[in-house]
Amino acid sequence: MVASARVQKLLRRYKLAIAAALTILLVQGLVVWSLRSLEEGEAEKNTRRSKLPDHNSQDPKRDPALREKQNSLSGRDRGRWSGRSERTGGTAASALRRGTNRRGEKPSVKVKAHQNRGVTGPGLEHAVHDPSSSRNFSETRGGAYGVAKVPAAAMLGEPGSVDGAHQPSSDFVPKCEITGKDALSALHRAGSQQCRQEIANIVCQHHAGKLMPGALPQFCPQLGISNQVQSVGELDNSLLKVENPVRVAFVLMVHGRAVRQLKRLIKAIYHQDHFYYIHVDKRSGYLHREVLQIAQQYPNIRTTPWRMVTIWGGASLLKAYLRSMQDLLNMLDWKWDFFINLSATDFPTRTNDELVSFLSQQRDKNFLKSHGRENTRFIKKQGLNRLFHECDNHMWRLDKRSIPEGLAVSGGSDWFALTRRFVEYVINSQDALVSGLKQFYTYALLPAESFFHTVLGNSHMCDTLVDNNLRVTNWNRKLGCKCQYKHIVDWCGCSPNDFKPQDLIRIQQLTRPTFFARKFESSVNQEVIDILDTHLYGQYAPGTTALKAYWESLFETEDGLAALSDAALTAHTAFFRLGLRNLLTPQSTVDACRFEPVGYPLSVHVYFYDDRFQGYLIRQEVQAAGSKVRETLEMWAVPQATLVLQSNLKEFERLKNLEIGTEWDLKERIFRNFGGLIGPLSEPLAVQKWAQGPNLTATIVWIDPAQVVAASYDITVDVDAEYTQYKPPLQRPLRPGTWSVRVLKQWELVAEVSFLVMPLTFKDKEPLRKEEDSWLHAGPPGDLYLEQSFQQLSSVLKLPPREAAAQEAQRRAQLVGRPLQAWVDSSIKDFWVTGGLCAPQTSSCPAVGLCSKTSWSSMSPDPKSELCPVKSDGRIR
């Protein structure tokens, strides 16, 4: 009773405080409920807004491939992917996140990594592989001369992708519940249903403990053995003292379009006593056609009758090496002693005779370069403790894994020189070590950098290892390790830099024997190749033409128009029209010089002279006025500089160049889109080049053709900065016409460069249609390129009134047909001029000379890159 009275007394004393506390709690609850309602309402509002038409989005109703992709994703849940037959349609926005691009942009082409043999891979359904449906493999049919005729022998457990992967049904259901973060991420990002099926099967097999070998045998009597590397001073490379010199099988893995550089490499390493087996990436059709022609000239050069897509870091590269080794062992007419792999970006640093002499004295040794790090750190850095799978032209990281017990993992460079005896062991051995390692490296990142090292180091031949791969690589990790391969591999990787003349000292300073160097790119620097070539084989005869010239193909009619972007097709056809109009001078008004272009370009080349980009060379058919006779002409389009630097720059004298473009290469610090062709759907960036000097801050302003201030931002330039670059996330489509980018110091003009956003005459390689495609030239909605408007800067920048420019831009956005073509032609005249025209055959127009006698033409002689008959000494250089 006493306690009850005390409680009542306390309640009477503090009832006001209790009431106030309850009121506060009630108000807080109402506020929380109100805020949650607002958030849900805003989310619903945003959802409704996201469904509004967007010029930069793909319409799934118009794109059946996108609709199929959206509808194929099944079983997705938050944090898991289970076997429930739950299906979701997906929105256009989610489809875009999974890999489709904005409307009008060329989607990222994902070549699916399939198989070439009827082999059952771990984690996959048992099915006989059909070569005709191969995704990462193609077999050359027929018996063309120069193509190796070897049986397509199956190799179980090959690194690569997944042999025998079955074609999944439309109802994709994983065989287990998948919850791992990496695996879920891969499943959400993978583009094809086939790839998602493979990923799910592999993850389920891995979780069941059926994918990786738990332990592997050790056959090396003493681990860590490595033979002493000879120093350069100890070498005696006189071939005259060698009895029974070794014969080398060079395996070249090539891709791209730089066939002239490849020919220079072949000239430098060719000898009639050696063998050359060339694999051309499945995506490089032009290069493959050229290599087939090379193989027809020499009996000891052959191309693989199969082709694969060999992506950076992918399992497919090791698979290609193993398949090449199998082929070489099956070629009974090729008696070789060493297997040496090369790429088209390699070049020798010593003569062929020196290489043969060295290897003949070391004929039982295998040359591989190790990483030189602590082993645990190497495994982690290399990602060998992670499970990877290659499909859809991508290396997907799926899970963690353990290194098999008893295995001493090694690795380093994926460039090597291996004895035939070791190659036979790798290909033909059925022991647990080799078969287990093939299985382990099937699902490894960068397997070619570790597989052969690990097999050799754990085998009975471990005492044949020499820690030297006989080559020097131009590493500059500050520039080369920019995670530039994130779009094709779920890992950060590094790539070597191209050699330039100032880098050759690295070769001279080496004490270990080296015979090759990499990388070299003639489109970046050809002078360094000229220096090495002259050092090895002497100078070309006086008067030899085209020594400083370099041509590289961008397009051939056999590639199909799909190989060109709409902006490139628009530009090249406009360049050619510009060249034809330049023929109509007072001196050549005859009808024979009045040409009309016919069809589309037959070929496009980039042309360099003295390591400077000189323009495009476009070859196309024409028809003379009043005649039905056709002929072919080649036209040279030359770019014009538009940079203007102000005087009295003071500290801004550091600024040496300002350039706008696309496809910026962070490693080589050049635009890979050499001509800077930019369309309304491009993503340009501004790059500034600086000399050393004081710290400074600059303002960068982008102005579009309608005098809209598209972007403005500041950059800080450090004392030792060489380049600064930034790509503003401009809303597309960009308004076509002449843009300008200004560099300002406290709003005072320092430098200005103009660039052209090309109006498009083609959309998806078809002529532009007014009703459907006018949005391409209309600029962004509301003239807003970024989230905020910068138009208030117009007065500070002293821009002219917008009204007239805006009206003209609006009128031009509706143009199609010949008026649109006239707009394009008038636009390019401020940025490009005609360097000349020539004809492969004698032209009906007397003003047009022969291409074979025109120094700039892609059809003019190029002795340094031409393959000639074998000379008496067995060489062609």
The answer to whether residue 715 sits within a structural domain is yes
Average the pLDDT over 816-835 and give the result.
96
Please determine, for residue 456, whether its predicted confidence score (pLDDT) is greater than 50: yes
The answer to whether residue 688 sits within a structural domain is yes
pLDDT of residue 138: 67
What is the rounded distance in angstroms from the CA atom of residue 864 to the CA atom of residue 877? 9
Please determine, for residue 850, whether its predicted confidence score (pLDDT) is greater than 80: yes
Longest dimension (CA), the chain: 126
> 285-325, pLDDT tens digit by residue?
999 999 999 999 999 999 999 999 999 999 999 999 999 99
Q: Are 822 and 685 members of one domain?
A: yes
Q: Are strands 366-368 and 465-467 parallel, antiparallel or unpaired?
A: parallel
> 11-20, pLDDT tens digit by residue?
555 565 566 6
Q: Are strands 248-254 and 709-717 parallel, antiparallel or unpaired?
A: unpaired
Average the pLDDT over 173-192 and give the result.
92
Assign 130 a pLDDT band (cuts: 50, 70, 90).
very low
Average the pLDDT over 672-687 and give the result.
97
How many C-beta atoms lie closer than 10 Å to residue 723's C-beta? 13
Assign 628 a pLDDT band (cuts: 50, 70, 90).
confident
The answer to whether residue 418 sits within a structural domain is no
Average the pLDDT over 237-249 and give the result.
85
Average the pLDDT over 314-340 and give the result.
97
Q: Are 659 and 682 members of one domain?
A: yes
Q: Which residue has the higher pLDDT, 629 or 699?
A: 699
Average the pLDDT over 160-171 and give the result.
38
Please determine, for residue 121, whether its predicted confidence score (pLDDT) is greater than 60: no
| Cross-strand partners of 741 | 702, 753
pLDDT of residue 25: 56
> Contact 46/38 with Cβ under 8 angstroms?
no
Nearest 5 degrees, angle CA 271-CA 277-CA 279?
Answer: 140
Q: Are 742 and 625 members of one domain?
A: no
pLDDT of residue 625: 82
Q: Range with the lowest mean pLDDT among 112-121, 349-358, 430-439, 845-854? A: 112-121
pLDDT of residue 151: 36
Map residue 639 onto helix, strand or coil: strand
> Contact 437/454 with Cβ under 8 angstroms?
yes
pLDDT of residue 241: 77
What is the rounded distance in angstroms from the CA atom of residue 603 to the CA atom of residue 620? 7
Percent of the chain with pLDDT over 70: 78
Which CATH number characterizes residue 673's domain?
A: 2.60.40.1930
What is the rounded distance in angstroms from the CA atom of residue 622 to the CA atom of residue 635? 12
Kindly state the tokens that stand for 830.
């401020």
pLDDT of residue 106: 34
What is the rounded distance in angstroms from the CA atom of residue 3 to the CA atom of residue 175? 66
* Mean pLDDT, the chain, integer: 83
Q: Are 697 and 749 members of one domain?
A: yes
Average the pLDDT over 614-631 and give the result.
93
pLDDT of residue 478: 85
What is the rounded distance in angstroms from the CA atom of residue 743 to the CA atom of residue 658? 9
Q: Are 652 and 611 members of one domain?
A: no
Average the pLDDT over 633-647 and give the result.
96
> 479-499, pLDDT tens digit by residue?
888 787 888 999 988 899 999
| Cross-strand partners of 745 | 748
Closest alpha carbon to 489 in 435, 449, 452, 436: 449
- What is the side-by-side strand order in the sheet with 301-303? 301-303, 275-280, 248-254, 338-343, 417-419, 366-368, 465-467
pLDDT of residue 82: 58
Average the pLDDT over 791-814 and give the result.
94
Sequence-ordered alpha helix ranges (H) in 73-192: 92-97, 181-189
Nearest 5 degrees, angle CA 585-CA 589-CA 593?
Answer: 95
Q: Range with the lowest mean pLDDT among 242-256, 280-294, 361-375, 378-392? A: 361-375
The answer to whether residue 452 sits within a structural domain is no
What is the rounded distance in angstroms from the CA atom of residue 688 to the CA atom of residue 741? 11
pLDDT of residue 95: 29
| Cross-strand partners of 644 | 752
Q: Are 556 and 608 members of one domain?
A: yes
> 736-771, pLDDT tens digit by residue?
999 999 999 999 999 999 999 999 999 999 999 887
What is the rounded distance in angstroms from the CA atom of residue 294 to the CA atom of residue 264? 12
Q: Which residue has the higher pLDDT, 275 or 481?
A: 275
> 720-741, pLDDT tens digit by residue?
999 999 999 999 999 999 999 9
The answer to whether residue 783 sits within a structural domain is yes
Map residue 738 onto helix, strand or coil: strand
Average the pLDDT over 256-284 and give the result.
98
**φ/ψ of residue 387, rounded to 5:** -95, 125
pLDDT of residue 511: 85
Q: Range with the lowest mean pLDDT among 374-378, 454-458, 607-611? A: 374-378
Closest alpha carbon to 535 in 266, 351, 353: 351
Sign of CA dihedral 113, 118, 124, 125: positive
Dihedral (C-alpha) 850, 851, 853, 857: value to the nearest 10 degrees? 160
Please determine, for residue 330, whether its predicted confidence score (pLDDT) is greater than 60: yes
Residue 377 host element (H or E): helix 375-382
Q: Are 844 and 786 members of one domain?
A: no
Q: Are 660 and 750 members of one domain?
A: yes
Q: Are strands 346-348 and 516-518 parallel, antiparallel or unpaired?
A: antiparallel
What is the rounded distance in angstroms from the CA atom of residue 210 to the CA atom of residue 122? 8
Assign 8 a pLDDT band (cuts: 50, 70, 90).
low
**Helix, strand, coil percentages in the chain from 3-state DSSP, rounded to 5:** 35, 20, 45
The answer to whether residue 612 sits within a structural domain is yes
Average the pLDDT over 247-276 and give the result.
98
Average the pLDDT over 516-524 and give the result.
97
Map residue 373 onto helix, strand or coil: coil
Q: Are 611 and 742 members of one domain?
A: no
Q: Which residue has the higher pLDDT, 68 or 712?
A: 712
Please determine, for residue 608, whether its predicted confidence score (pLDDT) is greater than 60: yes
What is the rounded distance in angstroms from the CA atom of residue 84 to the CA atom of residue 228? 60
pLDDT of residue 613: 98
Please determine, for residue 262, whether its predicted confidence score (pLDDT) is greater than 90: yes
Q: Range with the lowest mean pLDDT among 33-42, 298-307, 587-596, 632-641? A: 33-42
Q: Are 704 and 564 members of one domain?
A: no
Please determine, for residue 362, whether its predicted confidence score (pLDDT) is greater than 70: yes
Q: Which residue has the higher pLDDT, 398 or 42?
A: 398
pLDDT of residue 127: 32
Please determine, for residue 66, whether its predicted confidence score (pLDDT) is greater than 60: no
Q: Range with the lowest mean pLDDT among 223-232, 434-443, 449-458, 518-527? A: 223-232
Measured CA distances, 125 to 70, 661, 859 (Å): 25, 47, 52
Q: Which residue has the higher pLDDT, 317 or 124?
A: 317
The answer to whether residue 304 sits within a structural domain is no
Q: Work out how many domains the chain is built from and give that number.
A: 3
Quote the DSSP letter at residue 98.
T
> 21-47, pLDDT tens digit by residue?
565 555 455 433 443 333 344 343 333
Q: Are 837 and 819 members of one domain?
A: no
pLDDT of residue 483: 82
Q: Range with the lowest mean pLDDT among 20-24, 162-166, 558-562? A: 162-166
Assign 500 a pLDDT band (cuts: 50, 70, 90).
very high
Residue 39: give the domain boundaries: 2-44
The answer to whether residue 208 sits within a structural domain is no
Q: Are 837 and 822 members of one domain?
A: no
Average the pLDDT over 40-58 and give the result.
35
How many C-beta atoms lie closer than 10 Å to residue 689's C-beta? 16
